[in-house]
Every structure is written in structure tokens, then in C-alpha cells.
A and B are shown apart, each in its own frame.
Chain A
Amino acid sequence: MKYLLTLFLPLIALAHPHFLVDTTIQIEPDIIKLDWRFDRINSKLLFFEFDTNKDKKLDKKEVDSMIEKFFLPLKNDNFFLMIQSEDDELEINPKQINIEYSQKKLHINYALLMNNFKGGIVCNIDATTYFAFHLHNHSSSQKLEIEKSQYDFCIGVNQ
């Protein structure tokens, strides 16, 4: 019994999810579009934090502030994305970033401009699982192979 317990102890160590994010992803050869929808609790907290004039909506200045102070610092974690084309890991450089709060959920949507991305892997994963990314929806004109859990996912893209 004691040895069994000792064997299983490391299973429950360390990681600790707190941001629960539903991801919708569209993968095309020239663009990858992502929408992160945050859980209700964190949506409210983030909304309260950045709705600085307290008019219960996010105006452009507040959205820009949230992008600058909340989203762009995620660059340190590579935006929790890993995109591999053939053997090369691609740099993540989000464009067309927008944030909206609708139906009590905060959405961050953005695009990654691709250069003829016809084969590779796209993963949305936080190694520390402080963020848990659940694949909510996906679409593509290409053939996709999906591996997912409640807290991360990887998509294989084939021509």
C-alpha cells in the first residue's frame, strides 16, 4: 500500500488551472484565426478590471489597454501556442487583435498570418496549466487530425 501511494504521489503535484478558456480555431494556408472565450468568473474579473470608466462596456481605449496589459505580455509564454511547419517552429505574431465582452463572456480573437501553411502541427497549450485551453470548435479547408483534452489540444494539418 505504501509503495503504491508513493508511486502515485507525483501525479498530483504542481500544476493548477485557473483560467478556463474555450478555443475556436480556423486554420487555412494563409491565416489561422483564434477565438479565446474565457470562463464566466474570469471574464467578469477581467471586464471589471479593464472597464475603468465603469460604463459596463469596453470602449476602444479600454480594449487597447487590455491588449497591451493582459494579452501582449502572454508573448513571454508564446501566447500558449506552438505551431510547427515541417520541422520549423514558427514565431507567433498575433494580428487583428480584438477583445469583446458578450453574453457574460470575454472573447479575445486574433489572427496569425501564415505563409502557405499546408502541413504541420498547431497546439494550444500551457505547460503549467495555469490556463486550460479546451478546443470548443474548429474548421479548415484542409484535413485535420485532432488530439485534445480538457486543458490542451494539438491539431495535425495535412494537405
Chain B
Amino acid sequence: MITSIKELILGKIIFFQAQINETIGGYFDMLEDGNKEVYFYILAISFLYGLIHALGPGHGKVVIAGYFLAKGKKIADAFKAGFLTAVIHTFSALLVVGVLYIIFQGMFTSYFANINQNMYKVSAIFILALALYMFYELLFHHEQARCSATNKGILAISLSIGIVPCPGVMSIVLYAMLVGYIGLGFFSAILMSVGMGITISLAGILATKVKFSNSQKLFNIVGYIGAFILLFFSVALLV
């Protein structure tokens, strides 16, 4: 049953992503033909792309949810973490595209895959460190563990998942650059980041909503579940 739900969700996401890919490609063609009106359509589609693309796996929603399951009390913190993750995710993609475009002038597809895979490993190490720190707090510093997310914690969690550049963003931005619209590529990336930020934040917000009890025992159980999710996720990425 879980597999069929996953298939259904992933299938829908891929279907919409394929539609958006076609649409955005079509709009770029119209732009090349001199139809400047589609500039804003491209930006709108980019926002939608970010929103839907981040629904798919690999954007840190599990990690954010795991962290806020253990630490989350405020919706604002979840928003902060979601958007910070999306911003870092997008800017790391922009950096990679910029470097590949300016310095290497090619080999994008193979570089994308390699950079992505290697950055996932780096990300996994960060997430693992965060999970171990959460376990340490839960075992030895109960009061600290009970505190809600700090700015430092939010930055750590956002950085640990955001550093993996998003190939989806890289592809769209590079596409825009190739057809001569560097500025449009940049603004598309920003709007994709806003879209992704909303989606990623929702995972954190959902997790903050589940903490309805002040029971110490229940708090510990939920805290351990959150830390365990991070541990499981980091190990899965590393092996």
C-alpha cells in the first residue's frame, strides 16, 4: 500500500513536471521569436515549478520535518528553515551553473550528476552530525533538548540540506542562459526558490503541529523519533 501511494505521488509529480518542462520550453521559443509578453509567464511557471518540484523527493522535507518534530514549536521557525533551505539550494545551483557556464562552457549534464551526488554525501555528513548532536542533547541535556529551534540550529539544518544544488533549478537557469536570457534565468531561479520554500516549509509546519502535549515522556519519544529520522536519512544518503 505504501509503495502504491509513493508511486501515485511520484507519478503525479513527474507528470506535472513534464507538463511544466514542455510549457516553459515553449515559452522560451516564443521569447526567442520576439514575444516579450511571455517573460512574465516564464516567471510564473518558474514559481509553479519550484512549488511542484520540491514536492518530489530529495529536497530535505524529511530532514526538516524530522528536525521540527524534535525541536519545532513555532510555525515562523519552520517557515524560516524552509525558505532558508530553498534559498541556499537555489544559490548553490546558481553558483554551479555560473562556474560551469563561464569556466567550462560545457559538460553540464555529467557535471550536474557528479556534483549532485558528491554534495549529497557532504550533506549527509552534516545531517549525521546534527542527528548525533540531537541525541546528545536528549541524553545529557534534557532542558536544552526541550528548547525550540534556535537560529543557529535553523541555519545548521538549512545549510546541511540546502548545499545540494538543485538540478531542476540548474537546468532551467542554464536553459535560459543558452537562449540568451541570463537575467531571466536568475529571476526564474529566485521564483523557483520561493516556490520551493513554501513546499519545504509545509513539511516543517506539519511537524510543529504534531507537538500538542507537554508530557516529558511524550516529548522524549517524539524527540528521539525526530533525531532518528535524521540519522536514518543521513545513513541512507551515505551508503
Contacts and interface: CB of A to CB of B under 8 A. Distances in A.
B107 A6 contact: no
Given A5-B206, A12-B57, A18-B171, A151 B21 contact: no
Contacts of A10: 2, 62
Interface residues on chain B, size class = 35 or more
A11 B9 contact: yes
B124 to A, nearest CB: 11
Given A41-B21, A45-B108, A45-B171, A15 B62 contact: no
Interface stretch (B134-142, B147-155, B172-180): B172-180
Given A20-B21, A44-B25, A151 B11 contact: yes
B236 A70 contact: no
Contacts of B175: 41, 44-45
A131 B76 CA distance: 36
B106 A17 contact: no
Interface in B140-188: 167-168, 171-172, 174-175, 178-179
Contacts of B206: 5
A149 B110 contact: no
Interface of A: 1-2, 5-6, 9-18, 20, 39-42, 44-46, 48-49, 52, 69-70, 73, 104, 129-130, 132, 134, 149-151
19 contacts: A5-B206, A10-B2, A11-B6, A11-B9, A12-B61, A13-B62, A15-B56, A16-B57, A16-B59, A18-B112, A18-B171, A52-B106, A104-B29, A129-B10, A129-B57, A134-B14, A149-B10, A150-B10, A150-B15
